[in-house]
Structure 1
């Protein structure tokens, strides 16, 4: 038996369908808003990563080439065959990366932890000191590099100032010394990033249960024992986060090296990022530069993926 639809039923049907349509639009709105950004990231980040990997397996020089040569660029990278270039240019870069990475991460964590513990003692002018320590992170690597270049230049900065004060025997020419120039990069990098690490540790310290610390002090534990046996183990996630951030910054520290040392005498301060830029855009060896960029990507991936896995995996109940 069929029932005819009357005009009185239409408003009720429209009213019942309107919330459904509105709910669908509300569900789709975030996707519509994020779609342009997602498309741009997909093309200009992941798309160009795939393009770089492809170029590393070609014979590209000054311009991209479709001639596939397999892993030849990687072989030439590790077994250098260019007669006009020093055989140690890539090995110098990765050696400098090891020196810079270990010292930069190590000193930033130690100094940041020390400053955070110092400020955690509720000293006077804590807010002022926290701002002073954190301020260098607000500067770009270019500004930091130029400032420290002036400060470490023997003819302009620290050495010249001490000579004017009468200490004529003082010499500090690391920035012009091929064997020690990488350590000036470490000094400038630690100065900039240690305040940021301090803020991370200070936030972790402020989250430690004060009652537990008081109980340890009542049991006779000294301040050193409280921090060494209780506080620092609790800050293990902060240590891991600081390591991930600093390692990522160390691998991509291109502008700091350029602004501070201009690559150092004979490229002695090069990091892999400087090597990649030099051989891709200045020496017309795009395949070699792409291969070095892929190796840098693999290094970052080897650091980031285990961290993401540990953070995103389900915790046992």
Structure 2
């Protein structure tokens, strides 16, 4: 009878990694560490600091004694805050809606492979390369009744022409909409154009073979397939609308009176001009809550679709 001796188990040994391999793994972390630390301190750290100040009675300088929701009560008792929220509702709804409509129309136009697309595309995108200060200043000159559109039309002989929205308290907020749409609609066009170019052409050809007109193809097939682009455009534009500050300051300065005041200009005014830092911090927290209410559902839907 022969006995079979057990074969000893051989544990595989990992090859020793060289110093160059370990350095390649560590180098990205070392390079990104300063940026991560700066972001952690100067973004999220200051967000937490602002939230803390909103529960204090800080005025010209920070005070760290907590007093509860007193700053929020004072914030919501300010008529200027309600005016800022009303203006944000007008500006945000028109800004987002018009930018999406114009951006989609321009994207559909360029998607027809028209001549001069290579020239038109950068022309439409160029305003987004400008800062909001430049945009606001340019439109302030253009809409100024004394030297802009109204002055030019009257000098050409149209004496009855009138366009004084910039100095009209009832219409001034719409000048901010005009300037914002002019700047952002080209960016939205680029988003929709990328979405259109990503649609499988075989689907459209199959619909055309079945005899569907192009209007029905866009309405029933193409536009529904652009739902992620619509959502992304809405998120970006809503974020830009809530934090709009430099455009308003350069264009109207928040006036006439407080006719174009937005939460961002309210926050700056109460924090640095009226020396009510707690109220300004409370308004900043309300803006943060508005942005969070928009971004969190978007991130949740994106992560749920990926899983």
Q: Cα distance 1:219–1:18, how it changes in 2: closer, same or farther (>3 A)?
A: closer
Q: 1:158-177 CA distances to partner (integer Å, 9 max, x unpaired)?
A: 11111011111111111101
Match runs of 1:62-211 below 5 Å: 62-80=60-78, 88-211=79-202
Deviates more, 1:284-293 or 1:299-308: 299-308
Q: Tell me which residue corresponds to 2:289.
A: 298
The alpha-carbon deviation at position 21 of structure 1 amounts to: 4.9
Which of 24, 30, 48 aligns to 1:50? It is 48
Aligned length: 294
Find the aligned partners of 1:95 and 1:222 in 2 and give their Cα distance: 42
The alpha-carbon deviation at position 69 of structure 1 amounts to: 1.0
- How large is the Cα RMSD of the aligned pairs? 1.4
Matched, 1:36 2:34: yes
Find the aligned partners of 2:90 and 2:228 in 1 and give their Cα distance: 25
Find the aligned partners of 2:199 and 2:64 in 1 and give their Cα distance: 58
Find the aligned partners of 1:296 and 1:155 in 2 and give their Cα distance: 36
The alpha-carbon deviation at position 97 of structure 1 amounts to: 0.4
The alpha-carbon deviation at position 236 of structure 1 amounts to: 0.5
Match runs of 1:202-281 below 5 Å: 202-281=193-272
User: TM-score with structure 2 length normalisation?
Assistant: 0.93
The alpha-carbon deviation at position 267 of structure 1 amounts to: 1.7
SS at structure 2 position matched to 1:266 = coil
Find the aligned partners of 1:146 and 1:155 in 2 and give their Cα distance: 15
The alpha-carbon deviation at position 266 of structure 1 amounts to: 1.1
Find the aligned partners of 1:26 and 1:133 in 2 and give their Cα distance: 42
Find the aligned partners of 2:218 and 2:290 in 1 and give their Cα distance: 33
Find the aligned partners of 2:195 and 2:279 in 1 and give their Cα distance: 43
Find the aligned partners of 2:302 and 2:268 in 1 and give their Cα distance: 33
Matched, 1:19 2:29: no
Unaligned 5+ runs, structure 2: 1-13
User: TM-score with structure 1 length normalisation?
Assistant: 0.90
SS at structure 1 position matched to 2:199 = coil
Find the aligned partners of 1:144 and 1:314 in 2 and give their Cα distance: 38
SS at structure 1 position matched to 2:261 = coil
Q: 1:22-62 CA distances to partner (integer Å, 9 max, x unpaired)?
A: 54433322222221111111111111101000100001000
Unaligned 5+ runs, structure 1: 1-15, 81-87
Find the aligned partners of 2:151 and 2:249 in 1 and give their Cα distance: 23
Q: Tell me which residue corresponds to 2:9.
A: none
